[in-house]
Structure 1
């Protein structure tokens, strides 16, 4: 129901609003209320794109406004209910016409300068009713329209005589309703995908002439091609297959970059069985005692041992902390003299030599503020303690 905008790296940039499904008039909804089936960019305005949906509308959007579409084109059908699925849409090369192909078989064209109340051109029964057209594209000159129908046909229409198809090609079977058809960049050929002609066969990539849709070349692929795109600048054809793979067709002479960049690198070389057997059979020499960590410093290593002992004596290399300076100062450090030693011992901190218990008792004011005999301070200022008799102590001991 909602259109999503992504950058070229696949990161989501915006999600456009969906409409209220309880509103029957599609012109009063802010977005689509059913499944989206197709979309297309404006050929000259990068801020504008269109979407078509099963809700029988084509909507024109502004990239900067996610809350509501710019314009709603309500597609009316002659079938019962006056609604139909708009399964394909597109812009003309100059952006002056919007086209839509529908589930009821109709093909509609609107001028972008009109009020979109009704289409400017319509063909009823352009494709078989109740089949899903997979694509609608305009030719490079803007005079022709190419449609890929769900009835296994490809048709070309002339906008100057918009009554019947100029050319029709049938027998292009496919099981995928989103299968598309495109014009070549030089506007001479039509390319589309088709399924196998027999059971167990391969898919086909069809190249046909634009004027009569006669086959020029058929390329067999592993499975049915669904989407086809012909890049005009690098001159390469990219097709998406039904099995999830992507195929790229290029010309070694006329194609530029693209797949050719990957071919220049080449695939990474994998280790073969022969390489592994050679590695196993090759002799391996292990000399752990040749490593410095296993040397004991005897024999040929005596020079290095003396060198390590010499470096050990160097305070800078051994990172030894600086020793206290004795005697006169040097190197910016003040030395200690005998006079300085005497002066330092004149005022010594004798706290360590004191008995902490006696120091605390000197601070206690037991006569004026006793703790344990405070209740008898008034009537018996001098406390009298009981004397323990020796005999009682002896009895308790026995």
Structure 2
């Protein structure tokens, strides 16, 4: 309804795209939103944010911030902007919205995941342009390495490190014409090359992945618009607890006394009674499309007819059309001279007047008609 500066709002005014805890201070949260801002929050006081960060834009507009992340010291934050740029801010006294590092056109599509290394030297970025880029924070003009052919169709697809940060992992999405399923790809950080690819699901895309440092297991969430699930990758000799606890147990035998109640899911908003009524504008547009409600007149028929009307040049009904084709109705008036058609009945009208002529028979002068051009030509010949 109105335009207002984002710094004056008590929170985001659009949907959130990401959020992350400060690794050093568990009371501070960083969030990014579609309203084009990043905000820092104090969990003890959620009435308003602590800081509002607006990214640098080439043109004044409202472009969403699609991803955000903290570094492991809690001193820097990074945001992936909808225009494909990566912007980094250093948290210090008197810092504002002006970024310390600005990489224009870092990606050609939305950035879905950002991740700092523990030593603060490497930054990973994952995008919907099917790439994973490795950046050196000391020289951010160009990426150190670009890994391509990584399809990504979900705004939540992330990128992460292994616990020792020697490997980089990310998931891929399934494409329409592709025969291979979704993959979990691992890359060597030092050699900057592909280390391994693990097939996860033949029909569901890998959306997020996490390598847990304590139990040493990799979790991959898969899904599409209809279903979802979680896949766990582990090594029995290296992993601890986690999935091993479930795998080591024998399946519980079902007893006769076990009774499973099938849950009944009630969705009241699916019923027509509880649905939101469409806006008046949409109702008017729907009525205008309905020829009965809008009292729309019939348009002239052109080409093949419809609705019982045949699209002939004379615009006739179906019955008339069939009778004409069958020879039962012959229309000759289109080819006749109107003057001759009227004079054809002149003699009959003079001998047997019926309507107006008898009333003026005594006073009506004798009509004199001009001769046709064809008769004059015949006389001259």
Which TM-score applies when normalising by structure 2? 0.62
* Structure 2: gaps of 5 or more residues: 256-381
Query: Of 76, 80, 89, which residue of structure 2 is paired with 1:97?
Result: 76
Are residues 174 and 127 of structure 1, via their aligned partners in 2, closer, same or farther at CA, if it must alter by over 3 Å?
same
Please tell me whether the aligned partners of residues 23 and 29 of structure 1 are also in contact (alpha carbons under 8 angstroms).
no
Task: Give the Å deviation of 1:185.
Answer: 1.3
SS of residue in 2 equivalent to 1:245: strand
1:230 aligns with 2:211: yes
Partner of 2:312: none
CA distance in 2, matches of 1:157, 1:269: 53
User: In terms of Rg, which structure is larger?
Assistant: 1
Task: Give the Å deviation of 1:266.
Answer: 2.5
User: Quick check: which one's helix share is greater?
Assistant: 1
1:30 aligns with 2:14: no
* Count of residues in correspondence between the two structures: 248
1:170 aligns with 2:154: no
1:254 aligns with 2:238: yes
* Structure 1: gaps of 5 or more residues: 1-20, 272-398
SS of residue in 2 equivalent to 1:160: coil
CA-based RMSD of the aligned residues comes to 1.7
Question: Where do 1:203-222 residues align within 5 Å?
Answer: 203-222=182-201
Please tell me whether the aligned partners of residues 62 and 69 of structure 1 are also in contact (alpha carbons under 8 angstroms).
yes
SS of residue in 1 equivalent to 2:124: strand
Task: Give the Å deviation of 1:23.
Answer: 5.0
Please tell me whether the aligned partners of residues 76 and 84 of structure 1 are also in contact (alpha carbons under 8 angstroms).
no
Task: Give the Å deviation of 1:216.
Answer: 1.1
Question: Where do 1:120-131 residues align within 5 Å?
Answer: 120-128=100-108, 131=109
CA distance in 1, matches of 2:13, 2:200: 38
Are residues 270 and 214 of structure 1, via their aligned partners in 2, closer, same or farther at CA, if it must alter by over 3 Å?
farther
Query: Of 96, 105, 117, which residue of structure 2 is paired with 1:116?
Result: 96
1:240 aligns with 2:232: no
**For structure 1, which segment, 214-223 or 160-169, has the greater mean C-alpha deviation from structure 2 after superposition?**
214-223
Please tell me whether the aligned partners of residues 167 and 212 of structure 1 are also in contact (alpha carbons under 8 angstroms).
no
CA distance in 1, matches of 2:89, 2:38: 11
Q: For 1:182-214, what per-residue CA distance to the aligned partner results, in whole angstroms no more than 9, with x for missing partners?
A: 111111111011134753421111011123542
Partner of 1:265: 249
CA distance in 2, matches of 1:259, 1:81: 50
Please tell me whether the aligned partners of residues 173 and 207 of structure 2 are also in contact (alpha carbons under 8 angstroms).
no
Query: Of 125, 129, 148, which residue of structure 2 is paired with 1:147?
Result: 125
Query: Of 66, 72, 91, which residue of structure 2 is paired with 1:87?
Result: 66
